[in-house]
């Protein structure tokens, strides 16, 4: 196994995902994880993650320096590399020029981590500190224009450092670098996959739940569906699923999902109409964080009301994924910065009557889809594009009202219809409409209009940690714009969002 030490990077679990792609088990633990615990795990290698801190800041994260005496390979990424250099006697200093984003990596030593690599490739940088001098046993193995020491190696001790982030898609051949570390340098065996994950997860759920009952919100998305199947596999009919119609669903979504869930899943499902409760609570609310937390609060209240009707219901199942957690709170006790609250984690009250079962909380979306196929889930559900827990509320900038919801539903339906017709639905990570909080002047039928603006959002991504705006054909954009303006009352302007993540997020709120 590979042990990953969380120094607070937003990408720390993405490192774990890259390790798992090579069918190697890994475990993420916080900075400060004791040396005795590390020894007990007997890892074949250790990866030190990046993080937002500077090595010289007070209370910056650390790990026991004795890890460098264990005789096992260690890879430091970004802050992890700086920690390694600083701890072993090198010098870290504030960079004269902060390096963030794309950079060209020039490799001077095409061995070990860089075995089989191109001599020059694109990498992704995000740092304000740099290595000024190395401990005596290290050599420089790669550089960029702004960072002379972009990669280092001590081949005698099997210590390696990368100032850039190999775990993100933006770094070309980054997966191969991690593969070279865990397979060629650490000599790990490939023995971890979705089949083994499912087997372990089912047993853990059985042990935790025993003869009690679990209630779960089933939205029809791949996350909740896969989580429900996994829990169902463990406890059978002791799982009671609840579909909450919060009024924030896409056009005809309740009817479509009711048919597909009833047809494909042999589960206990109860459909609850809570539209008025949610819409009344959102009246006058414009702040996106307040929206998310209010929706989360009401979501749990509905479950509490339903739970009282089910004798022996002690657990609440959720399809929470790791990107939900990492963007809402620090995972594993690490110092990760909060970006925004997510429905599944940000809206939970401190004293909840039900204990949580979140079997997918360490997985990314593509892994969940693999797991869904492993469990036999219908492919239409497996490949359904992600839809946020708060629904269309966070795609309406400003106040949510029935009128504005109807405008967005109609525009969104047209976009998805055209995306499917173009054969792009499964190729895109997400494609949807956003209703902006502005009106603009237009001319329709020789008359002045002053109506709403719709933004089209379409992105490509692997795991939602990073995303790039999709280069949709101009002809497709033209059709969508023309149809929205002509077929959706109250819209006279359409724009296309060309922002990637980072710096933006996929959703607008």
The residue from 22, 165, 342, 343 that is catalytic is 165
> Are the CB atoms for 347 and 299 separated by under 8 Å?
yes
Residue 29: strand, helix, or coil:
strand
Q: Is 224 annotated as a binding residue?
A: yes
The residue from 22, 29, 78, 253 that is catalytic is 78
Q: Answer yes or no: 343 catalytic.
A: no
Q: Is 500 annotated as a binding residue?
A: no
CA torsion angle for 272, 252, 394, 339 (degrees, to 10)? 80
Beta pairing partners, 101: 125
Q: Answer yes or no: 264 catalytic.
A: no
Q: Is 219 annotated as a binding residue?
A: yes
The residue from 29, 99, 167, 367 that is catalytic is 167
Question: What are the contacts of 193-196 at 24+ separation with CB within 8 A?
Answer: 193/23, 194/367, 194/370, 194/371, 194/374, 195/374
Task: Return the HEC string of 146-188.
Answer: CCCCCEEEECCCCEEEECCCCCCCCCCCHHHHHHHHHHHHCCC
d(CA 429, CA 462) in angstroms, rounded, equals 7
Q: Is 223 annotated as a binding residue?
A: yes
The radius of gyration of the chain's CA atoms, rounded to the nearest angstrom, is 25
- Give the pairing of strands 2-6 and 468-469: unpaired
Length of the chain: 509
Longest Cα pair distance anywhere in the chain, in angstroms?
A: 79
Burial 350-366, CB ≥16 within 10 A → b, else e: eeeebeebbbbbbbbbe
Query: What DSSP line would sit under 443-470, residue for residue?
Result: EETTEEEEEEEEEEEEEE-SSSSSBEE-
Task: Return the HEC string of 298-328.
Answer: HHHHHHHHHHCCCCCEEEEECCCCHHHHHCC
d(CA 317, CA 312) in angstroms, rounded, equals 14
Q: Answer yes or no: 165 catalytic.
A: yes
d(CA 8, CA 336) in angstroms, rounded, equals 4
> Are the CB atoms for 320 and 344 separated by under 8 Å?
yes
> Are the CB atoms for 75 and 82 separated by under 8 Å?
no
- Give the pairing of strands 468-469 and 447-460: antiparallel
Q: Tell the burial category of 435 from Cβ atoms under 10 Å away from its Cβ (0-12, 13-18, 19+).
A: buried
> Are the CB atoms for 200 and 27 separated by under 8 Å?
no
Q: Is 120 annotated as a binding residue?
A: no
At residue 231's C-alpha, the angle toward residues 229 and 235, to 5°, is 115
Q: Give Cα 195 distance to the centre of its chain.
A: 22
**Intra-chain end-to-end CA distance of the chain, in Å:** 38
User: What residues are labeled active site?
Assistant: 78, 165, 167
Write out the binding residues for ATP: 219-225
Write out the binding residues: 219-225
């Amino acid at each position: 196994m590979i042990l990953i030490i969380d120094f607070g990077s937003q990408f720390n679990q993405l490192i774990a995902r890259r390790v798992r792609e090579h069918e190697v088990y890994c475990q993420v633990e916080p900075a400060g994880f004791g040396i005795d615990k590390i020894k007990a795990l007997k890892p074949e290698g250790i990866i030190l993650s990046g993080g937002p801190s500077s090595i010289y800041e007070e209370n910056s994260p650390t790990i026991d320096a004795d890890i460098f005496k264990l005789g096992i390979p260690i890879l430091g990424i970004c802050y992890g590399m700086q920690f390694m250099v600083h701890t072993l006697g090198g010098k870290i200093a504030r960079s004269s020029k902060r390096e963030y984003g794309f950079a060209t990596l020039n490799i001077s030593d095409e061995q070990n981590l860089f075995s089989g690599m191109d001599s020059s490739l694109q990498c992704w940088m995000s740092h304000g500190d740099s290595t000024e001098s190395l401990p005596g046993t290290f050599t420089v193995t790669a550089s960029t224009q702004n960072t002379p020491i972009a990669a280092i190696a001590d081949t005698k001790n099997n210590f390696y450092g990368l100032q850039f982030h190999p775990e993100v898609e933006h770094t070309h051949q980054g997966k191969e670098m991690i593969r070279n570390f865990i397979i060629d340098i650490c000599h790990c065996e490939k023995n971890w996959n979705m089949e083994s994950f499912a087997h372990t997860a089912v047993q853990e759920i059985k042990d935790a739940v025993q003869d009690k009952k679990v209630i779960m919100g089933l939205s029809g998305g791949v996350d909740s569906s896969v989580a429900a199947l996994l829990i169902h596999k463990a406890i059978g009919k002791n799982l009671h699923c609840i579909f909450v119609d919060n009024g924030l669903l896409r056009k005809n979504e309740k009817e479509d999902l009711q048919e597909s869930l009833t047809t494909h899943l042999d589960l206990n499902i109860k459909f609850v109409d809570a539209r008025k409760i949610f819409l009344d609570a959102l009246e006058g609310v414009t702040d996106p964080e307040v929206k998310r937390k209010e929706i989360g609060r009401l979501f749990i209240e509905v479950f509490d009301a339903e739970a009282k009707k089910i004798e022996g219901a002690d657990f609440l199942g959720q399809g929470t994924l790791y990107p939900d957690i990492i963007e809402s709170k620090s995972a594993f006790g690490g110092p990760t910065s909060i970006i925004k609250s997510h429905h599944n984690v940000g809206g939970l009250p401190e004293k909840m009557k039900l204990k949580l079962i979140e079997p997918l909380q360490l997985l990314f979306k593509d892994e969940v889809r693999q797991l869904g196929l492993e469990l036999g889930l219908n492919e239409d559900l497996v490949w359904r594009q992600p839809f946020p827990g708060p629904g269309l509320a966070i795609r309406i900038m400003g106040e949510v009202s029935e009128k504005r919801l109807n405008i967005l539903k109609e525009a969104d339906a047209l976009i998805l219809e055209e995306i499917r017709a173009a054969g792009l639905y499964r190729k895109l990570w997400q494609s949807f409409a956003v209703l902006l909080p502005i009106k603009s002047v237009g001319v329709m039928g020789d008359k002045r209009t002053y109506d709403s603006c719709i933004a089209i959002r379409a992105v490509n991504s692997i795991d939602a940690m990073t995303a790039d705006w999709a280069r949709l054909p101009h002809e497709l954009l033209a059709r969508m714009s023309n149809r929205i303006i002509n077929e959706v009352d109250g819209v006279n302007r359409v724009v296309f969002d060309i922002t990637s993540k980072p710096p933006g997020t996929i959703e607008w709120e």
